[in-house]
Amino acid sequence: MPSQFRQRLKNKEQLWGTMVTLPTPSTAEILADAGFDWLFIDAEHGPLQTADVLGILQAVSHRVACIVRVPACDEVEIKRVLDLGAHGIIVPQVNSPEMAADVVRFARYAPEGSRGVGLARAHGYGFRFEEYVKEANEQISVIVQAEHRDAVENIEQIAAVPGVDAVLVGPYDLSASYHKMGQIDDPEVMDAIDRVTECCQAAGLPLGHFGVTAEAVRPYVEKGYTLIVAGVDVLFLGGGARRILGQLQGEA
């Protein structure tokens, strides 16, 4: 159940997810029914706006946990997606412990943080307000991304920030920060990922990784990563279409 996602994450249970980028609720609904543990709703890249995220959350309707990647470490963006009913947030480019502390503060109600209080979908439009506010700090997952060389340099301090539930490695942006765009297997990039791995595991912090295929993430599963994102909705659609077309052309 989505309400148990944060505890499962902290327990380092294996959590299989996939990425949603299309502003079509039906796409997310189909992926939710496919059996994934969670959906990575990407509001950083691509066309997803607030109304699109709302439609996706309504369509999935608590079948699985929906964790929304916000565009940046921004108080308004974090508050907005949590008020829509997201089960957690992923924040990109968290490169310092100060930024990590801000993320936690924006996502938590007082006294643990400074999240604004309002009436929205997450609160049952007011009819479950007391229940939600009481439980939100315990149930909302806070995940930060290590995807820049500055984050790698500061990873020990980032991993030590109270309230950070997991670190998700972003290999493509990380490679770009080393001026090796897309070269995710480059030795320097791999060394950076190894440093993140070692520091987070030493701190007992769960680790996540994204890959476009199962083969891409399998080495990280073997290293102990438990928050896994494999595949993207647009690649599923395009790959399936090309496969069918190839089969038809082969039969012609």
Q: Which residues are catalytic?
A: 45
Q: Which residues of 181-206 are buried (b: 16+ CB within 10 A; e: fewer)?
A: eebbeeeebeebbeebbebbeeeebb
